[in-house]
């Protein structure tokens, strides 16, 4: 079995998914020709075994050996930019977050031999215009594990917020709601890893200063971007409650999903990809109140040929109700969350991909 895999390999979400797919392709003895999208950076994957590193390098170095136009290609990328083909048979694995596919997006989806969406929501959005689509869930990264360390005093309920700062992720709503309820109450703590690499220097601080009206809080802290997945694993183990699931639109939401799989409690807004893995047993489900246009003038632009539509919002009362509920659960292990890790594996993800492609 031979496969062309065109993918970014880096520390961002796409790169993390790619790393786990590559690991499974190696385990399943798939002859893989890796065509990197952009620069290769494996520095985040500090648990990566030497044998796998060598296999990846060989798969990149030898990608032109015995290259055949009839080999199937799996491309992990955005819909935008997916038109470039290496072989005749191209299959796209992508993440779609909003709810109004544009004509250009539909055309590019139809241009592929098959498109795997990471959410059933995305399939529903495209199914009236595209028949070559299916749902392929993402798995739990096996490098993440429960540490059972005590990071803070057991008297403190520790909340976490992870993901690059942007309107789509409802960061302003989340931060404001948390500060209004818990600000300067040191029985509660919020640690945020929300640095956005696309922002100018100092831009995040300026936005936060405006959001909080110049106020500072003794129990809210902001960490710089975490460099390795071991650091991410420690962060997720250190918190009791994840707030990343209150994002307004997602293609999967790795921080909230990974937190849940590590037995933490996640507040999850009930929409888009969240519906594929979060439920009333493994998470604190919050119903959206209404929607807002996704346009933010930076990542989502009005009238653009991509990323049009809405994101989901929530009311202060709804998140306060969720806060109240999670306070009593925060120090309890989320057993159904641990079961979620067993249900969603990258071995299953890659089997779904291969069974269709090969």
Q: What is the mean pLDDT of residues 29-41?
A: 97
**351 and 279 assigned to the same domain:** no
Q: pLDDT band at 335, cuts 50/70/90? A: very high
| Residue 47 in domain | yes
Query: Which domain does 315 fall in, by range?
Result: 157-343
pLDDT mean across residues, the chain? 97
| Residue 177 in domain | yes
**200 and 323 assigned to the same domain:** yes
**104 and 52 assigned to the same domain:** yes
* Burial label, 84 (beta-carbon count in 10 A; 0-12, 13-18, 19+): exposed
How high is the pLDDT of residue 319?
98
**201 and 338 assigned to the same domain:** yes
Specify which residues 6 forms β-bridges with: 35, 75
**174 and 309 assigned to the same domain:** yes
> Is the per-residue pLDDT at 1 higher than 90?
no
> Is the per-residue pLDDT at 250 higher than 90?
yes
**131 and 247 assigned to the same domain:** no
How high is the pLDDT of residue 198?
86
Cα–Cα distance between 66 and 224 in angstroms, integer? 44
Q: What is the mean pLDDT of residues 254-279?
A: 98
| Residue 271 in domain | yes
Number of domains the chain is built from: 2
**241 and 330 assigned to the same domain:** yes
| Residue 167 in domain | yes
**53 and 82 assigned to the same domain:** yes
What does the chain come to in residues?
A: 358
| Residue 149 in domain | no
> Is the per-residue pLDDT at 265 higher than 90?
yes
pLDDT digits (tens, 9 = 90+) for 167-211: 999 999 999 999 999 999 999 999 999 999 889 899 999 999 999
**176 and 289 assigned to the same domain:** yes
**241 and 191 assigned to the same domain:** yes
| Residue 147 in domain | no
How high is the pLDDT of residue 197?
87
Residue carrying structure tokens 């429960």: 146
> Is the per-residue pLDDT at 298 higher than 90?
no
How high is the pLDDT of residue 210?
97
**298 and 202 assigned to the same domain:** yes
CATH code of the domain in which 194 resides? 3.40.50.2000
Give Cβ neighbours of residue 5 (< 8 Å, ≥ 6 apart): 21, 22, 25, 32, 33, 34, 35, 59, 73, 74, 76
| Residue 150 in domain | no
**206 and 104 assigned to the same domain:** no
Q: pLDDT band at 58, cuts 50/70/90? A: very high
| Residue 228 in domain | yes
């Amino acid at each position: 079995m031979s496969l062309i895999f065109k993918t970014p390999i880096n520390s961002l979400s796409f790169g993390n998914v790619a790393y786990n797919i590559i690991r499974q392709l190696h385990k399943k003895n798939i002859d893989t020709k890796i065509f990197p999208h952009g620069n290769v950076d494996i520095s985040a994957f500090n648990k990566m075994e030497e044998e796998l590193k060598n296999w990846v390098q060989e798969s990149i170095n030898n990608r032109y050996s015995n290259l055949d136009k009839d080999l199937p290609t799996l491309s992990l990328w955005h819909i935008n930019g997916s038109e470039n083909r290496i072989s005749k048979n191209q299959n796209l694995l992508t993440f779609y977050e909003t709810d109004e596919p544009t004509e250009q997006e539909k055309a590019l989806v139809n241009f592929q031999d098959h498109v795997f969406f990471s959410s059933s929501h995305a399939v529903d959005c495209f199914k009236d215009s595209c028949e070559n689509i299916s749902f392929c869930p993402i798995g739990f990264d096996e490098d993440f594990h429960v540490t059972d360390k005590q990071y803070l005093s057991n008297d403190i309920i520790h909340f976490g917020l992870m993901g690059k700062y942007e309107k789509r992720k409802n960061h302003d709503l989340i931060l404001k709601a948390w500060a209004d309820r818990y600000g300067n109450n040191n029985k509660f703590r919020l640690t945020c890893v929300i640095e956005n690499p696309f922002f100018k220097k100092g831009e995040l601080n300026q936005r936060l200063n405006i959001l909080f009206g110049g106020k500072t809080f003794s129990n809210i802290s902001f960490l710089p971007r975490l460099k390795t997945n071991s650091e991410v694993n420690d962060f997720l183990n250190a918190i009791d409650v994840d707030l990343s699931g209150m994002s307004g639109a997602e293609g999967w939401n790795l921080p909230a999903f990974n937190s849940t799989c590590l037995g933490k409690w996640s507040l999850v807004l009930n929409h888009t990809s969240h519906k594929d893995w979060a439920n009333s047993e493994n998470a604190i489900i919050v119903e959206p109140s209404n929607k807002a246009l996704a346009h933010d003038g930076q990542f989502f632009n009005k009238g653009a040929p991509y990323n049009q539509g809405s994101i989901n919002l929530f009311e202060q009362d709804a998140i306060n109700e969720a806060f109240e509920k999670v306070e009593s659960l925060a120090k309890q292990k989320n057993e159904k969350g641990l079961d979620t890790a067993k249900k969603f594996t990258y071995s299953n993800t890659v089997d779904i991909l291969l069974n269709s492609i090969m």
